[in-house]
Each structure stands twice: as structure tokens, then as C-alpha cells.
Amino acid sequence: MATNIPEKKQLSDALARRLPAYYRHVCIMLAEGKTSVTSGELAKRVGNTSAQVRQDFFTCGGVENYHPDTLKDWLSGLLGIKEEHHMVVIGAGNLGRAIISFKDFNNEGFFIDAVFDNDLRYDGMQVCGIPILNASSLEDYLAANRVDIVVITTPANVAEDILEKSIRGGVKGVWNFAPVDLRSNDKIEVHNVHLSDSLLTLSFRMNERKQ
């Protein structure tokens, strides 16, 4: 199988967003018992063109064949999910708890090991069997434990401080749900998620249909 994966900076954000969709639909095809996949079939499922699928795969280094098992293995390597990722969640509120309770993360190798919150009422409690620790202990925890990804579900005013602590703690990725845009740098990758953006996009498309 070809393993020539371009440097990350060579891949566009748009392509990076399409790769998880390819992976998800290939997994669905495997569950359906598919033994072969065409670029046209995959394109139809993800909502683009067969030419786009072929171009995306070529840009990522190429794949030996379009058998679902081969595609899943290849995409897993591109997405970095052949190895475990250890995560902590900052914020034990409703959003934090919803993320913690999403069991599919474990199936893809993403494991939440601890939750942090500054509300003293949570001390000693657990969410889905995961301990809730005081937020003041975050830096000590990062120094003593492997943490690959920090998930931020806090108010905006503390998100930047958590990012700085994550950088000092050697964390490589931040998944940010706080209502503020945090910035990546050469030490850490940041992905900002604004739930309202998706809803507003839906509203925009609905409004278009009225025109």
C-alpha cells in the first residue's frame, strides 16, 4: 500500500474536513458487507464527485485499491487513529457531560481519563466512571500524565488560560467548544467548534429555499 503522506501543511482545511466523512462512510460500507467500493459510490454517499474523491486520495499519497478494508486501514493512518489518544475534559457542565457520555470515542481510540471543573461541589464525583478533579490541579495532572488532547467546554473568559496551560503541559491538541476562537501555533493544534455555526448554516439554506 502506498504510504507517501504529504506534510500536514500541504493539505487544505477543506480536504481535512472531507477525510472523516470518507472514513465514516467506508465503515458503514463494511458494516453493510460491501466487498468493493468505487469512487463514484463513495462520492455519492459523501455528496461530492468521483473526480474529487480520486483527487483527494491522490493528494494524500494514493491508496492501493478501493476494497473497504484497505480504505479503512489507509484512512485510519491518515487520521491518526491507529494509536490511542488520551483526553481530558475541562468543564463538567451539560456540554462536557454530553461529550464524556459519547461512547463512540472509545471505539476509535479516544479515551477520556479525567474531567476538571472549578466548582468544589463536584470534588470526588464521577461522570460515566471518570473522576472529576479540581481545575486548580490541571497543570500538575498534565505534568504527571500523558494527555494528547484537551477538550474545553468552559466559558470564554477562561479558555485562553487553559490553552496556555495545555501548551506548557506538552499537549498537542485542543478541541475548543468555548465561545471564543483560540489559535494554533507551532506547539499545539487547535480546532474551534461553534455549535451555532452549523445551526445558522441550516437556517441560511432554509432561507435560500424561500427566495
- Span 60-108, pLDDT tens digits: 998 888 999 999 999 999 998 888 999 999 999 999 999 999 988 998 8
What is the pLDDT at residue 211? 74
Instruction: From 36, 61, 79, give the residue that closes a domain.
Output: 79
Quick check: is 52 in a domain?
A: yes
Beta pairing class for 149-152 and 130-134: unpaired
- CA 133 from chain center: how many Å? 23
Residue type, 32: E
Quick check: is 210 in a domain?
A: no
CATH code of the domain containing 176: 3.40.50.720
Instruction: From 37, 64, 79, give the residue that closes a domain.
Output: 79
What is the pLDDT at residue 10? 59
CATH code of the domain containing 72: 1.10.10.10
Q: What is the CA radius of gyration of the chain?
A: 19
- Domain range holding 96? 85-196
Which of 17, 141, 14 has the alpha carbon at shortest distance from 79? 17
Number of C-beta neighbours around residue 69 at 10 A: 12
Cell numbers for 129: 466512571
Whether residue 32 contacts residue 106, with contact meaning beta carbons closer than 8 Å, is answered with no
Put residue 80 in one of left, alpha, beta given phi > 0 → left and psi -120 to 50 → alpha.
Answer: left
- For residues 89 and 45, membership in a common domain is answered with no
Residue 8 reports pLDDT greater than 50 = no
Cell numbers for 62: 494514493
Q: Report the chain's mean pLDDT, rounded to a whole number.
A: 91
Residue 5 reports pLDDT greater than 50 = no
Q: What's 81-147 look like in SS3?
A: CCCCEEEEEECCCHHHHHHHCCCHHHHCCEEEEEEEECCHHHCCCEECCEEEEEHHHHHHHHHHCCC
Half-sphere exposure of 102 (CA within 13 A, CB side): 12
Q: Roughly what angle, to the nearest 10 degrees, separates helices 68-79 and 13-31?
A: 140
Quick check: is 51 in a domain?
A: yes
Please give the Cα distance from 86 to 83 (Å, whole number).
10
Instruction: From 34, 63, 79, give the residue that closes a domain.
Output: 79
Residue type, 99: I
SS3 state of residue 150: strand
What is the pLDDT at residue 1? 41
Interval 101-142: pLDDT, tens: 998 899 889 999 999 999 989 988 999 999 999 999 999 999
